[in-house]
């Protein structure tokens, strides 16, 4: 069964609080870790959850507002101090590389491992990472500075072999790969075809997750999010503060819920809360009036695909 979880490392907006760090999330897909954004304090949150830095090979930065990347420079140097030698892939706006290089130069520091930088495009969606199981693409958001969200989509999984049926029909081992791909089986010396559904079971479900960080209300992203399993969408403000949201290129809880409803999401997580709201339940309640299956992105919360 697939392991696909989202760990909230930070859910605050511009400034950290005693209870909430700035933006950061750790995605775990079959024990492969992907860090999205890295606000200050992120490496301490990773330590608290006993995440080994050596297992972190991909870091995605949505944009260059400090609450989304100021924890990165320290994390990179800590990895070096701990003796990392494996390459680390860093994805973000082109100026991010300049910031990292400048920090290393001014502090007379070097990294003991290769840092591979992947520049994100801000005018069109692109695939940033792909392997046999997963694709990670950008989502073009609408913020005061170039900003991208990230879409994680598992590829269709192979069908599962039905051992009892394989034994009953005496299917040879060499046919297993084709059966997993959904092909029927034909005996070479017989005029007989056995349908795939008689020999296999349905595959495990493939999951999807979208991270939409800082953005004003933007319905253009809905087609890319269609039928998403879990959608994280920023909800910095209540809708009574819509003018403030518009001026700062942020969203309200009601607007985040509207995107989730239009996208037919299964679950909406809202976060990036303004510190002006002491009771976050008012944001949750507002979102639920539009999209009932909404939850808050509280620090240290874990959301599992089921």
Lowest mean pLDDT: which of 13-17, 91-95, 216-220? 13-17
Kindly state the DSSP code that residue 120 receives in the 8-state scheme.
P
Please check whether residue 122 is in contact with residue 144, taking contact to mean a CB–CB distance below 8 angstroms: no
Distance CA 60, CA 128 (A): 10
φ/ψ of 89, rounded to 5, equals -95, 125
What share of the chain in percent tops pLDDT 90? 92
**Average confidence score pLDDT of the chain:** 95
**Domain chopping of the chain, boundaries:** 4-157+204-304, 160-201
Residue 10, SS3 per DSSP? strand
This prediction's pTM: 0.92
Pick the CATH number of 4-157+204-304 from 3.30.1490.100, 3.60.15.10, 3.40.50.10860, 3.40.50.620: 3.60.15.10
Angle between helices 94-106 and 72-81 (to 10 degrees): 60
Whole-angstrom CA distances from 96 to 14, 59, 64, 126, 195 are: 19, 12, 7, 18, 53
Tokens representing 240? 């009574």
In whole angstroms, give the CA distance from residue 174 to residue 153.
Answer: 30
Pick the range with the lowest mean pLDDT from 61-65, 149-153, 196-200.
Answer: 196-200
Specify the pLDDT at position 122.
Answer: 87
| Helix, strand, coil in percent for the chain, rounding step 5 | 30, 25, 40
**Mean local confidence (pLDDT), 34-45:** 97
Percent of the chain with pLDDT over 70: 99
- Give the per-residue pLDDT at 191: 81
For 174-221, the pLDDT digits (tens) are: 999 999 999 999 988 778 899 999 999 999 999 999 999 999 999 999
Half-sphere exposure of 116 (CA within 13 A, CB side): 9
Structure confidence at residue 192 (pLDDT): 85
CA dihedral 275, 215, 42, 229 (to 10 degrees): 110
For residue 2, the model assigns a pLDDT of: 67
pLDDT of 1 above 60: no
Q: Both tokens of residue 65?
A: 């507002």
Confidence of residue 306 (pLDDT cuts 50, 70, 90): confident
pLDDT in tens, 222-273: 999 999 999 999 999 999 999 999 999 999 999 999 999 999 999 999 999 9
The mean per-residue pLDDT over the stretch 30-41 comes to 96
Residues carrying an active site annotation:
67
Lowest mean pLDDT among 116-120, 170-174, 214-218: 170-174
Q: Which of 152, 75, 87, 150 is nearest to 120 (CA)?
A: 150
Least Cα distance to 155 among 175, 170, 171, 137 occurs for 137
């Amino acid at each position: 069964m697939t392991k696909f979880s989202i760990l909230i490392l930070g859910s605050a907006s511009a400034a950290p609080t005693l209870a909430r760090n700035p933006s950061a999330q750790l995605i775990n897909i079959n024990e492969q870790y992907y860090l999205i954004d890295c606000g200050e304090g992120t490496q301490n949150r990773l330590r608290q959850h006993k995440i080994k830095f050596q297992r972190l090979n991909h870091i995605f930065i949505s944009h260059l507002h400090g609450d989304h990347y100021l924890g990165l420079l320290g994390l990179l140097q800590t990895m070096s101090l701990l003796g990392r030698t494996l390459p680390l892939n860093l994805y973000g706006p082109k100026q991010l590389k300049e910031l990292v290089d400048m920090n290393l130069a001014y502090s007379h520091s070097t990294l003991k491992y290769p840092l591979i930088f992947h520049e994100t495009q801000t005018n069109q969606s692109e695939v940033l990472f792909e392997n046999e199981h997963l694709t990670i693409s950008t989502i073009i958001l609408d913020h005061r500075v170039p900003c991208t969200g990230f879409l994680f989509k598992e590829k269709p999984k192979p069908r599962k072999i039905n051992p009892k049926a394989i034994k009953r029909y005496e299917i040879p081992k060499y046919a297993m790969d084709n059966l997993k791909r959904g092909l029927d089986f034909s005996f070479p010396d017989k005029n007989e075809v056995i349908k795939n559904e008689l020999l296999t079971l349905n595959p495990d479900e493939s999951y999807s997750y979208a991270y939409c960080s800082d953005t004003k209300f933007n319905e253009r992203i809905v087609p890319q999010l269609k039928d998403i399993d879990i959608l994280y969408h920023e909800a910095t403000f209540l809708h009574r503060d819509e003018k403030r949201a518009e001026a700062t290129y942020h969203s309200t809880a009601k607007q985040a819920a509207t995107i989730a409803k239009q996208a037919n999401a299964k679950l909406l997580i809202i976060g990036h809360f303004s510190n002006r709201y002491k009771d976050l339940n008012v944001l949750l309640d507002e979102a639920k009036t539009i999209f009932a299956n909404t939850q808050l992105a509280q620090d240290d919360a874990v959301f599992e695909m089921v």
